[in-house]
A and B are shown apart, each in its own frame.
Chain A
Amino acid sequence: MNEGSKKTIKTLCFAVLGMFTFSFALVPLYDVFCEVTGLNGKIELKATNNTNIEIENGRDLSVQFVSHNNEQMPWAFKPSEDSIKIKTGKYHTTSFYVKNTTNKMMTAQAIPSVAPSNAAAHLKKLECFCFEQQELAPGEEALLPVRLIFDDALPKSINSVVLSYTIFDVTDYDKVQLSKDLQTNHGNDHKMEPSA
């Protein structure tokens, strides 16, 4: 085989390895892309520390709450209010009701999502049960608070937003592993400790 062929083979093998690596690089790239652009309605899973987005006389906005149970997650999980009328630039507090309907100790994680997705970047939360895992004893129930604000830079075309939470059963997940995943995928520097 001549030199030219050897060189072509080498280049092609590198290309194959490169593309295999690239397929894995797509995972962080995808998350970075979504985070920068706020495209997929994912919200940061951490409390905002920006306090000067509060303003008087914001726009009217209606926020609807939706709750889902993932797979066979048996807990009762629903918003206390289906929708609220708020103003941009003003904090509001609402809550979600959960109950562990089983007879075993369980841990849950809620993942939020916003529609339309370009509203996601403008939603800031001071407090959210989705920042932490929830551990409930058999039959235990709780009201989980969310304290949120939409900044006034929210696109003018949006006057209604849906905030949806999906609750996952993570009892069997290795906690350390999980929080690491969440951190890499959401740029989260908030430590995930099991809450009582």
Chain B
Amino acid sequence: MSAVIESHGHDDHHHGPAKGLTRWLYTTNHKDIGSLYLWFSFAMFLIGGVMALVIRAELFQPGMQIVEPEFYNQMLTLHGLIMVFGAVMPAFVGLANWLIPMMVGAPDMALPRMNNLSFWILPFAFFILLSSLFMEGGAPNFGWTFYAPLSTTYAPPSVTFFIFSVHIMGASSIMGSINVIVTIMNMRAPGMTLMKMPLFVWSWLITAYLLIAVMPVLAGAVTMMLMDIHFGTSFFNAAGGGDPVLFQHIFWFFGHPEVYIMILPAFGIASHIIETFSRKQLFGYSSMVWAMASIAILSFVVWAHHMFTVGLPLAAELFFMWATMLIAVPTGVKVFNWVTTMFKGSITYETPMLFAIAFVVLFTIGGFSGLMLAITPADFQYHDTYFVVAHFHYVLVPGSVFSIMAAVYYWIPKWTGNMYDERLGKLHFWLSFTGVNITFFPQHFIGLAGMPRRYPDYALQFADWNAISSVGAFLFGASQILFLFIVLKTVMGGKKATPQVWEGSRGLEWTVDSPAPYHTFTTPPKVSL
């Protein structure tokens, strides 16, 4: 991918942003909306993080010391929901808003007013979800996977508000993805063919299709729950002829593609950063595209690897085992390409690159534990233990979350016009890297030793690793305050950034000034190879 830019449109009508608070309320500008999404996501990251620390504080020692078991369950559920739907997904949507129009040379997203709407309904969704903490019976307590009948027959009354908020989050994601797809399919600058698109754009195109395919299924699942709870149907109620296992099928038909929704944009980000700081062209561009596409397609036929122990017939156990393992092949292609890009590159280790390299290494560890879980007979032992917790935190925290942090460091000079403080950035990286590994690596051990997930208490033999894990969690949590400080400091000022920002950076977004003007590419740039 080497796009040479022949001309680029600068801001030709010079109206900037409106003043005051209403700017943010009424804005249809993709950069404003991108910032809103990112700040919202960061707020959710902190709230979800505090909940995680409540959990880890309780688990610091065996026995019950800080919270009631009922409250523990609520923290666990809200932590999962907030991190998935409030932190990781909106952060990627924010990055998509900021970057996709600039990367494809479009003046804005295709549907700017819908863009405003899809952001502004999100705070309401999470306000509703969080307010359930103060309702009678407390917040949802059935885990982020909300299996029926825990979430129907045995749910607290606030489950209705939970369902409503999931509907809103789903609507927001669907509108966001429609916007992304229409922008990418119809608003690329002349000369930018599909196979010349930057990989972040590719990763989001595929992600958006996944979202369009599975968010309606999630909406269907919560709608069925609503009907079971309030309208006397029996979708998931065996007494009325329904089947609780059906819930798991529907949920994971959504749920597995959902985990790829949370990692594909990260793949795109890592590709850009590794390419830039290796000062080499990315190895295997087209295989990267094909790998992402095949991962996305395969993600629809592996859902039952979350259900190996529900009593599937042997043929299904085997099918889902092999299909799951098959996903490791395109994933392996991607890791190979990243490593090969770095091979013999003249690498420098600025903060974004540190996060990107950590992403590759630690995500791969998560991929390996995923492969172990994919082995059906082994999963009977691992299922619902801390080993699973370790697996998905490795792919999600040093995976998705590190990629988001890498993206922020990489593009923040473009957004603010200022360089971040490199010394503090590196400090943030090393604190996070240490914290994340101290937190989650021991969870592999206690999982293999048999500690079940989702309990507020545990047997004595798990005490040491749990204490270590809790220490790591507080280190990781505290280092995110430093991240907030670094970002604020960069927004306020700092060394001025050049348009290209990084020596090795390529792509349309680096051809406009830093900070990027309020309106970019009002006349499309010409792209040629």
Q: Is the CB of A71 within 8 A of B153?
A: yes
B240 and A39 form a contact (CB under 8 A): no
What is the minimal beta-carbon distance from B164 to any residue of chain A, in angstroms?
Answer: 16
- State whether A5 touches B182 (Cβ < 8 A): yes
Q: Who on chain A is nearest to B153 by CB? A: A71
**B313 and A4: CB pair below 8 A?**
no
Cβ–Cβ contact B311 & A19, under 8 A:
no
Partner of A13 from B178, B232, B233 at Cβ < 8 Å: B178
CB pair A26–B249 under 8 Å, yes or no, is: yes
What sequence of 0s and 1s flags, for each residue 150-190 of chain A, a beta carbon within 8 Å of any chain B beta carbon? 00000000000000001011100110011001101110000
Task: Check B212 against A12 for contact (C-beta < 8 Å).
Answer: yes
Residues of A with C-beta under 8 A to B181? 8, 12
Q: Which B residue sits closest to A26, measured CB to CB?
A: B250
Give the nearest-CB partner of B310 in chain A. Answer: A40
A70-B239, A174-B232 in contact; A12/B313 too (CB < 8 A)? no
Stretch of A75-83, A91-99, A109-117 on the interface side: A109-117
Interface residues of B in 219-244 (CB under 8 A from A): 219-221, 224, 232-235, 238-243
B220 and A23 form a contact (CB under 8 A): yes
Say yes or no: B219 contacts A41, CB within 8 Å. no
Kindly supply a per-residue 1/0 record for chain A positions 96-130, scoring 1 wherever the CB is within 8 Å of any chain B CB and 0 otherwise: 00000000000001010001011000000000000
Report chain A residues within 8 Å CB of B110.
Answer: 1, 5
Please report the C-alpha to C-alpha distance between residue A9 and residue B185 in the assembled complex, in whole angstroms. 10
| CB <8 Å contact, A4 and B220 | no
B239, A173: Cβ atoms under 8 Å?
yes
Q: Mark A1-19, 1 if CB is under 8 A from B, else 0.
A: 1101100110011011111
Pick from B111, B219, B234, B241: contact of A20, CB below 8 A.
Answer: B219
B297 to chain A, nearest CB (A): 15
**Which chain B residues numbered 186 to 218 have a C-beta less than 8 Å away from chain A?**
186-187, 212-217
Contact (Cβ within 8 A) B217 A30 = no
B residues 298-325 near A (Cβ < 8 Å) are 311-313, 316
Is B186 a contact of A5 with CB atoms below 8 Å? yes
Chain B min CB distance to A55 (Å)? 27
Give A115 to B178 CA distance when docked, in angstroms. 46
With A23-B221, A185-B241: A2-B186 Cβ-Cβ less than 8 Å: yes
A27 on the B face (CB < 8 A): yes
Whether the pair A20, B220 counts as a contact (CB closer than 8 A) is yes
**Do B216 and A16 touch across chains, with their CB atoms under 8 A apart?**
yes
B153, B216, B221, B235 — which one has the most chain A CB atoms within 10 A of its CB?
Answer: B216
Q: Which residues of B contact A5 (CB under 8 A)?
A: 110, 182, 185-187
Report the Cα distance A168→B238, complex, angstroms. Answer: 8
Interface of chain B residues 11 through 34 with chain A (CB within 8 A) = none
Query: What residue of chain A has the Cβ atom nearest to residue B246's Cβ?
Result: A30
Whether A181 pairs with B185 at a CB distance below 8 angstroms is no
| Contact partners of A19 in chain B: CB under 8 A | 212-217
Q: Is the Cβ of A15 less than 8 Å from the Cβ of B217?
A: no
- Name A12's contact: one of B178, B233, B249 (CB within 8 Å): B178
**A2 CA / B187 CA spacing, docked (Å):** 9
Residues from chain B with Cβ under 8 Å of A166 in the complex: 238
B328 at interface (Cβ–Cβ under 8 A)? no
Asked if B174 is at the interface of the complex by the 8 Å CB criterion, the answer is yes
- A–B complex contacts, Cβ < 8 Å, 19 sampled: A5-B185, A12-B177, A15-B212, A15-B213, A16-B178, A19-B216, A20-B219, A22-B216, A23-B253, A27-B224, A31-B243, A40-B243, A70-B238, A71-B153, A117-B313, A169-B239, A177-B240, A181-B240, A186-B241
Known contacts A19-B215, A26-B220, then 14 further A-B pairs from the complex at CB < 8 Å, ordered by chain A residue: A2-B186, A8-B181, A9-B178, A12-B181, A19-B217, A22-B217, A23-B221, A37-B313, A40-B311, A115-B311, A166-B238, A168-B238, A168-B239, A169-B239
Nearest 7 Cβ contacts at the A-B interface:
A23-B220, A168-B239, A19-B216, A20-B216, A182-B241, A181-B241, A185-B241
